[in-house]
C-alpha cells in the first residue's frame, strides 16, 4: 500500500463541474446535470449525524442518464452507496436534507426514475447503535447477532486463541496511524509439512461493518467445524488460514465513536484539516482509477 503521508495532490487547479463539457455525451446531458446540480446546490455541511438524510435509489435508463447522475453526484459531493453497472440498474445515493428537494426536482425534469429507499438515515443509525450499547464489552465467544467494536473483536480473538490453542494463534501484522495493533488470526490443523495459505482480510472501508463480522463468521466456522464438518476438515487439512478482521482499525473505531458513515482511514492530510484516504484504491497495483478523487476531503480520496 502506498504511503499516503507523501501523496501530493495535483498542482493544477481542479476543474469546475461546468467546465467538464468534453466528458458529456451531448450538450443535453451537460445541461441536465447542471440543472440537477444547481437546483440542489446549497451550503454543503459535514455532519456526524444524518437526521432527515435520504437514500435515493435512482434508475438511469441510458448511458447518458448515468453520466447526468454521476456528474450531479460529483458537483454536489453526494455519497454514492452503489455504482452504476448497467442501464436500468438502480444506483443508491445519500442526499442531505438541504439538497434533497432540488436533487429530486432535477431528476424529475430529466425524467430519470427514482424512489426513496431510506427516508431518515439517522433513525436507522440510532436503532443500530442502541443494540451496540447493550452488547457485552468483553465477549468471550463469537456473537453473530450484533456488530462488535474493535476492542470486542480483539477480546474474541484472545478467547478463541485460548480455547483453540492447538489450532489458533494470533500475531500483529503492523500498527495503524493512531497506534492500534492490526491483528491477524492464524488457523491451522497442523498436520505436518508446509501447507499453502489462504489470506482473508476484512473491513478496508471503515463503515462497512458487515465485513469484519464476515471474517468472524469464517473464523467461527473453521474452529468449530474442524473434525465434525467434512468440508471444513478437508479445507484445514489442505490449507492454513490467516484472517485479518479489521484492515482499517482507526477508521472502524471512528465509526463506533464519532462518525457512523466514515469510510476512510484517519491519516491527516493537507492544510484543510481533512483526514483519511480510501485504502481500497491505494495499492501500487491499479492505484487510483474510477471511484477515486484527488481531493483530501473526499470520501474517495486516494
pLDDT at residue 264 greater than cutoff 90: yes
pLDDT band at residue 8, thresholds of 50, 70 and 90? very low
With a CB cutoff of 8 Å and minimum separation 6, the contacts of 40 are: 72, 76, 95, 99, 100, 101, 102, 103, 105, 106
With a CB cutoff of 8 Å and minimum separation 6, the contacts of 199 are: 242, 244
Cell of residue 277, nine digits: 484516504
The full set of domains in the chain, from first to last, is 9-127 (3.30.70.340), 136-252 (3.40.630.10)
The answer to whether 248 and 204 are in contact (CB under 8 A) is: yes
- Whole-prediction pTM: 0.78
Average pLDDT over residues 160-183: 96
pLDDT band at residue 42, thresholds of 50, 70 and 90? very low
pLDDT of amino acid 290: 65
pLDDT of amino acid 6: 32
Average pLDDT over residues 110-132: 92
pLDDT of amino acid 1: 44
Average pLDDT over residues 298-302: 77
Amino acid at each position: 500500500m502506498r504511503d499516503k503521508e507523501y501523496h501530493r495532490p495535483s498542482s493544477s487547479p481542479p476543474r469546475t463541474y461546468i467546465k467538464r463539457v468534453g466528458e458529456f455525451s451531448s450538450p443535453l446531458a451537460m445541461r441536465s446535470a447542471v440543472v440537477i446540480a444547481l437546483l440542489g446546490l446549497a451550503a454543503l455541511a459535514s455532519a456526524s449525524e444524518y437526521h432527515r438524510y435520504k437514500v435515493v435509489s435512482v434508475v438511469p435508463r441510458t448511458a447518458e442518464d448515468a453520466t447526468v447522475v454521476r456528474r450531479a453526484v460529483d458537483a454536489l459531493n453526494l455519497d454514492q452507496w452503489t455504482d452504476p453497472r448497467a442501464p436500468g440498474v438502480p444506483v443508491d445515493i445519500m442526499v442531505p436534507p438541504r439538497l434533497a428537494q432540488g436533487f429530486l426536482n432535477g431528476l424529475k425534469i430529466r425524467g430519470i426514475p427514482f424512489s426513496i429507499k431510506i427516508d431518515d438515515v439517522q433513525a436507522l443509525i440510532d436503532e443500530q447503535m442502541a443494540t451496540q450499547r447493550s452488547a457485552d464489552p468483553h465477549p468471550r465467544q463469537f456473537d453473530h447477532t450484533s456488530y462488535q467494536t474493535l476492542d470486542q473483536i480483539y477480546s474474541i480473538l484472545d478467547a478463541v486463541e485460548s480455547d483453540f490453542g492447538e489450532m489458533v494463534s494470533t500475531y500483529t501484522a503492523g500498527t495503524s496511524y493512531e497506534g492500534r495493533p492490526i491483528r491477524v488470526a492464524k488457523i491451522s490443523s497442523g498436520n505436518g509439512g508446509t501447507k499453502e495459505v489462504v489470506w482473508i482480510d476484512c473491513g478496508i472501508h471503515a463503515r462497512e461493518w458487515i465485513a469484519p463480522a464476515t471474517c468472524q463468521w469464517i473464523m467461527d466456522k473453521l474452529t468449530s467445524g474442524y473434525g465434525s464438518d467434512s468440508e471444513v476438515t478437508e479445507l484445514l487439512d489442505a490449507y492454513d488460514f490467516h484472517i485479518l478482521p479489521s484492515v482499517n482499525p482507526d477508521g472502524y473505531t471512528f465509526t463506533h465513536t464519532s462518525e457512523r458513515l466514515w469510510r476512510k482511514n484517519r491519516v491527516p492530510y493537507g492544510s484543510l484539516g481533512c483526514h483519511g484516504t480510501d485504502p481500497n484504491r491505494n495499492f501500487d497495483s491499479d492505484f487510483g482509477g474510477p471511484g477515486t478523487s484527488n481531493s483530501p476531503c473526499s470520501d474517495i480520496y486516494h
